Amino acid sequence: MRHTNQYDFSNLFLLLHQQGKGIKDTAYRHEISLAELDGRWKGKTAGSLVEVQHLALTDFVFPDTGSYIFRIEQNMRKTPLTEINDVGLKVIKK
C-alpha cells in the first residue's frame, strides 16, 4: 500500500474478500498500522510517498487449481479516502 505524507490517519482498515473453488466466500478485516507512536511514518519513503507492506494471510493454501478472486475494500469511516495512492496484492509461493 502506498500513501502520501498528507494522509490523515495513522492506520488503515481494509476488508480482504476472497472467493473461489473450495473456499467459502469470506471477508477478513485487517488493520494496517502506518505510523509510529511519535508520528513518524512506517515503511519505505520516497519523497512524499510512503510504502507499507502487510502480511494479510499466513498458511493459506489454494485448495485446487482454478480461478480465485481477491478484493480489497477500504473500511474506514471516511469516504472517499484521500491520499491513498494504490493498494495491491502479492501472492508468494512457499
Helices (H) and strands (E) in the chain, counts: 0, 7
What total number of domains does the chain contain?
1
- pLDDT for the residue 42: 96
Please check the confidence at residue 24 and state whether its pLDDT lies above 90. no
45: cell is 519513503
- pLDDT for the residue 3: 97
Average pLDDT over residues 7-32: 93
pLDDT digits (tens, 9 = 90+) for 25-83: 889 999 999 999 999 999 999 999 999 999 988 888 888 899 999 999 999 999 999 99
Residue 93 belongs to some domain of the structure: no
Please check the confidence at residue 94 and state whether its pLDDT lies above 80. no
- pLDDT for the residue 25: 87
19: CB partners within 8 A, 6+ apart: 25, 26, 68, 69
Residue 94 belongs to some domain of the structure: no
Residue 92 belongs to some domain of the structure: no
Q: Is the pTM of this model over 0.75?
A: yes
Could you tell me the strand order of the sheet in which 44-46 lies? 44-46, 49-51, 2-4, 84-86
Give the domain extent around 17: 2-86
